[in-house]
């Protein structure tokens, strides 16, 4: 069972460069922490795939197990876990997030 | 079930013995906290690994009874 969900997650994070597991959608976030990450990505103009965990309880628990991370949102870039809301915010404020996205060709320098 | 700031601090210190911990109750509602944690044991680890150490110290309470805890981690500056 777990393998099926992990396979789905692997496909999701491989099929888009930037994937955000969140509560609600990019257009209508349903949690302040998810909204904060959406706002940062939108402000940078980085396209991302939103996955609404509230619509899929398998993914909601599965992504926590997959990443070994207890909270949502979770940001993946090029298949790698970047962090949750606190880390993304800290990286955005220090400019690290922008540098990392530029180095992966996802943001114009 | 809400957790008090003392309980959060005690758990973190039990898991990371040298940690300097400061907890803020962001809304005064006993439900939304920010934790600032300094520990030499974070040295050489990236942020994800540092936060995971804090989550481990919280023994699975994060995302459960501890709904909203913003975490900021740091390695102590060397004193000159």
Flag whether A36 is in a domain: yes
Give pLDDT, residue B1. Answer: 55
Instruction: Kindly identify which residue of chain A lies nearest to residue B36, measuring between CA atoms.
Output: A86
DSSP assignments along B9-77, one per residue? HHHHHHHSTT-EEEEEESSSSSSEEEEEEE-GGGTT--HHHHHHHHHHHTTT-BTTTB-EEEEEEEPPP
Give pLDDT, residue B78. Answer: 67
Nearest-by-Cβ selection for A71 from B47, B62, B72: B62
What are the backbone angles phi and psi of residue A50, rounded to the nearest 5°? -95, 135
- pLDDT tens readout for residues A15-47: 999 999 999 999 999 999 999 999 999 999 999
Flag whether A21 is in a domain: yes
Least Cα separation, residue A71 to chain B (angstroms): 5
**DSSP letter (8 states) at residue B78:** P
Instruction: Kindly identify which residue of chain A lies nearest to residue B60, measuring between CA atoms.
Output: A70
Flag whether A107 is in a domain: no
Domain boundaries, chain B: 5-74
Domain at A70, CATH number = 3.40.30.10
CB–CB contact A87 B48 (8 Å): yes
Cβ-Cβ contacts under 8 Å, A82 against chain B: 48
Give pLDDT, residue B38. Answer: 97
Walk along chain B (80 residues) and give the pLDDT tens digit of each residue. Answer: 578 899 999 999 999 999 999 999 988 888 889 999 999 999 999 999 999 999 999 998 887 888 789 999 999 986 55
CB–CB contact B47 A81 (8 Å): no
- CATH fold group of domain B5-74: GMP Synthetase; Chain A, domain 3 (3.30.300)
Flag whether A34 is in a domain: yes
Give pLDDT, residue B31. Answer: 83
Count of A–B CB contacts within 8 Å? 30
Flag whether A108 is in a domain: no
Domain of A30 in residue numbering reads as 2-101
Q: What is the model's pTM?
A: 0.91
Count: domains in chain A: 1
């Amino acid at each position: 069972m777990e393998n099926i969900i992990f396979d789905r997650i692997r496909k999701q994070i491989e099929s888009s460069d930037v994937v955000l597991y969140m509560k609600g959608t990019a257009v209508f976030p349903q949690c302040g922490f998810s909204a904060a990450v959406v706002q940062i990505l939108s402000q940078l103009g980085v396209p991302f795939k939103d996955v609404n965990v509230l619509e899929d309880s398998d993914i909601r628990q599965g992504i926590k197990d997959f990443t070994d991370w207890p909270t949502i949102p979770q940001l993946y870039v090029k298949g790698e876990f970047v962090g949750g809301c606190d880390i993304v915010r800290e990286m955005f404020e220090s400019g690290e997030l922008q540098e990392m996205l530029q180095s992966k060709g996802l943001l114009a320098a | 079930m809400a957790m008090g700031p003392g309980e959060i601090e005690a758990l973190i210190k039990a898991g990371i013995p040298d940690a300097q911990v400061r907890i803020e109750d962001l809304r005064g509602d006993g439900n939304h906290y920010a934790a600032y944690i300094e520990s030499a044991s974070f040295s050489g680890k990236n942020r994800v690994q540092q936060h995971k150490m804090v989550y481990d110290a919280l023994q699975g309470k994060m995302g459960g009874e501890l709904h909203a805890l913003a975490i900021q981690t740091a390695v102590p500056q060397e004193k000159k």
